[in-house]
Structure 1
């Protein structure tokens, strides 16, 4: 009887899950393979043209878009470089000539204050990365340590944003001072399901990593 009862219960659970699945079908995630930003080794002129083309259209939907700056900016200037649009990510990278530093993407909720505070969050992310990877070598440790220190000091290290807006709003933002490029995804792209890599200010001709052979400063 116990075996028969267990079988009945199992069938009941399966039937309940089937009904629950029918009532709550999996949410369509839309675009899952998209990315924002230039491809490796892509000519900068080609990317700028491609980004401009992504803003064409007449739909009234809101789109996620990557905003790349002409030069790194300090945290207080972040809201002014968003065009008043909802900021979803702030991208930070400490600029040190001849030294490759980490790019840090900080997810932020709505509000200007949290976007401004994202530099400190970026510093914590770099610190966690250093703690998790350990001291790979002395140079790596120095790069990470200097990045943490400068981010916490409020350096001009924000290199881009991910924002959400309509195509007319994004076109207006693309023409603003200090904005180098705005690239939009299709309207069905879902937050958290696309990769982001900004056009860095030092990318002038081709998108390739710069040299990493200069001494790392002490602070």
Structure 2
């Protein structure tokens, strides 16, 4: 059962052998020392300036980078926006008025069709976690926990909107040389592109999206409104 705390993100891996690999012993995970995305509480203007600075340089080595969208993107637009750059993660966020919703990161293989299908993958994962009948999240003998009921309702709405194909892609983790990343930053639909140093290792960095609705500072939005019907 999913439990969303309001700050945690959901990560979904879409690679062959994920389920089988989960049954095997795993080596100790490396500590992620690099980060793509804004810091908690950081002024948005400061992050945008920091992103521009990260693209300076003349080396031709490939860099991992985060593209932050100016507004929610249709997943079908990903191949045209990225212009052939390798996409490794699709960051999805379904905005609901005055309701906190999770950031969902879908890890995709090097296949443009998989990136375009990221919302459907995320929706399927959430619905599978909720169960075929929609888990009520409480013991039927006891009074339902309002917080859990609200959380489950929110997940159902989020999954439904993803399944319907909403324009809810808010970021992409891509890989390319600095000149291509600078070009990407200037394309319509791109709000910012932040690059890591060329020596940053795959899987050894964390990713936090800059949401389109975050205009002044990177802070959580309100969570005091009713969950809308699906």
- Compute the displacement of 1:124 (Å): 2.8
- Compute the displacement of 1:128 (Å): 5.0
Q: Is the 8 A contact 1:55 1:183 kept in 2?
A: yes
- What are the superposed Cα offsets for residues 110-166 of structure 1, whole Å, 9 maximum, x if unpaired? 1211111111111133335556x9836111001101111111111111101000000
Equivalent residue number for residue 15 of structure 1? none
- Compute the displacement of 1:190 (Å): 1.7
Residue 191 of structure 2 aligns to a residue whose secondary structure is: strand
Q: Is the 8 A contact 1:88 1:163 kept in 2?
A: yes
Q: Is the 8 A contact 1:31 1:189 kept in 2?
A: no
Equivalent residue number for residue 126 of structure 1? 126
Task: Return the structure number with greater helix share.
Answer: 1
TM-score (norm 1): 0.81
Give the distance between the partners of 1:168 and 1:104, measured in 2 at CA. 29
Alignment of 1:82-161 (within 5 A): 82-128=82-128, 130=130, 135=137, 137-161=148-172
- Compute the displacement of 1:80 (Å): 2.0
- What are the superposed Cα offsets for residues 32-88 of structure 1, whole Å, 9 maximum, x if unpaired? 410100000000010001001110111110001000000001221122222321100
Equivalent residue number for residue 14 of structure 1? none
Equivalent residue number for residue 178 of structure 1? 189
Give the distance between the partners of 1:152 and 1:170, measured in 2 at CA. 30
Residue 84 of structure 2 aligns to a residue whose secondary structure is: coil
Q: Which runs of 5+ in 2 are unaligned?
A: 1-28, 138-146
- Compute the displacement of 1:101 (Å): 0.8
How many residues are aligned here?
Answer: 190
* Alpha-carbon distance change, 104 to 129 in structure 1, aligned in 2, over 3 angstroms: farther
Q: Which runs of 5+ in 1 are unaligned?
A: 1-28
Residue 101 of structure 1 aligns to a residue whose secondary structure is: coil
Please identify runs of 4+ aligned residues in structure 1 that moved more than 6 A: none
